[in-house]
Structure 1
C-alpha cells in the first residue's frame, strides 16, 4: 500500500478564494475517488492571516474594509465582490457579502489547531467558512467561536480554555513561519507531497491531474522497488 499523498493548504477564514479553492479541491478528490486505483490523500489546513491588523469588531461592511485596506473606489470594490460571488456560485457556494462581519481571524486559526488535535479540523474549517461567507456570523469573538465549535462536536469548555489561554497561538505562528519559508504571499496555497505548489483557487481538474500523476508515479516506483528486491533475493 502506497503512502497517502499529503496536501497542505495555507488559507485564511476571511479569504473568499480560499473557500472556493477548498470546494474545488473537494470536487477533485471526489472525482479521483472513483478511479480503480484511487489515490489516498491526507489533507491538512494551515494558518495564514491576510490582514492581521484588523480589529475584532470592525466598524463597517466588507466594502468599507476593502476600500480602506486596498485604497480602491467603492464602485470598483462592489464590482470585484460581484465577480467573486459569481465564481463562488459556480463552485456551489452562496456568498453573502451584504451580511458578512469582517473581523480578525487569529482566534479562528487557534480554534482550528485545537480542532485538529481533536480530529475535527476539516469539520470546523467548513463550519467557520460557511458561517463567515454565507451566514453573516461573527468568527472573531471567543463566545461566537465556541458556539460554532460545539456545532461540530467540540467541547465548549475545552475550546474556550484553549482560546482564552492562547494555547495554540504558537502553532498558528509556526504555520505562518512555514508559509514565509515557502515564499507564500497569497492564499489559498496548496503544497502537495511537499514538492508541488499550487497557487489560487484552481479548478477541480487541476487537482485531479496532479493527484493521478503523483499516484501513478508512486505506484511505478513501488513496482520497481519490488522488482529490485526480487532480483536481489535471487
Structure 2
C-alpha cells in the first residue's frame, strides 16, 4: 500500500488524521492554523485531511449523553466527567473555540467522514471539516442524520442533490476505510495525528510554536536553499555543457 501521494512540486504536504467527534482535533486544527500564520512558506503548504473514527462501533443514535458516556468509558462519576468536559471547554476557549458539550449529540461519524471525502474532491475539504467540527462541538447538530449533513454541506457550497446521492449510495465509504487502513499501517492509535512531508509524525494537539518549528525543520530538509555563487565579478574559468573556456592566447607567445 502506498502510504502517501507525492506533493505537488515545491509544496510541503501535511497529512492529518482526525475525527469530527474529537474535541482535541478542533483545537489541533486551530493550532496548526496559528502555526501557519507565522510560517513564511504557508502558501506552499498543502493540508490533506484523513478519516479516523474514534469509535467505529458507536450507534447512530446513542442512548447516553456525552457526559454520561464519558463517565462510563473512564469509570468516573458524572460529576468527574463533567469536570473533564469543563476543563476541555476552558482549553478550547484559549484557542478561540466555543464548546458546548451539553448540546452534543453523540453519534457514529462514518457518514460524516464520507461527506468530507466528497468535499475534498471539490476543493472544499477544509471548509467542510471546519463546519462539521463546529456543528458537533459547539452547535449540537446531529451529524448522524443524512439531511443534516446535506444542509451543512450546502452551507459551504456543495450541491445538495449530489451530496444526498453520494451519502445514500456510500460512494465514498471505501475512501474512509482506506484512510483508516493507512492509519493502522502507520501505527496511529489517537488523533489528531499530523504527518509532515511524508516522514515526520506529530501526535496530539501540540502548541502552535511546536508545530511551526516542525514545519520549519521539514521545510529546510525538503527544500534546501540554493547555492550562493561567489566571485561573480571575474570571468569564470572552467568547463560546462561539454565546452571549455580556454584562456586567451598571449600575443607575445610565438609558440606553435
Decide: shared fold, TM above 0.5: yes
| Native 8 Å contact 1:10 1:189 kept in 2 | yes
Change (3 A) 1:135 1:162: same
Partners of 1:38 and 1:62 in 2: CA distance: 36
Matched, 1:142 2:146: yes
Q: Which residue of 2 aligns with 1:170?
A: 174
Shift of 1:70: 3.0
The answer for unaligned runs of 5 or more in structure 2 is: 1-7, 230-237, 243-256
Q: Which residue of 1 aligns with 2:37?
A: 30
* Counterpart among 120, 123, 128 of residue 119 in structure 1: 123
Larger radius of gyration: 2
- C-alpha RMSD of matched pairs (Å): 2.2
Q: Which residue of 2 aligns with 1:99?
A: 103
Task: Normalising by structure 1, report the TM-score.
Answer: 0.91
Shift of 1:74: 1.5
Partner-residue secondary structure (3-state), 1:7:
strand
The answer for unaligned runs of 5 or more in structure 1 is: none
How many matched pairs?
227
| Native 8 Å contact 1:39 1:211 kept in 2 | no
Structure 1's consecutive aligned runs of 4 or more residues displaced over 6 angstroms after TM superposition are none
Matched, 1:14 2:18: no
Q: Deviations over 1:85-123 (max 9, x none)?
A: 111010110100011111110000000001111111110
Q: Which has the higher contact order (CA 8 A, sep 6+)?
A: 1
Partners of 1:172 and 1:145 in 2: CA distance: 16
Q: Which residue of 2 aligns with 1:191?
A: 195
Shift of 1:58: 1.3
Task: Normalising by structure 2, report the TM-score.
Answer: 0.83
Partners of 1:29 and 1:182 in 2: CA distance: 25
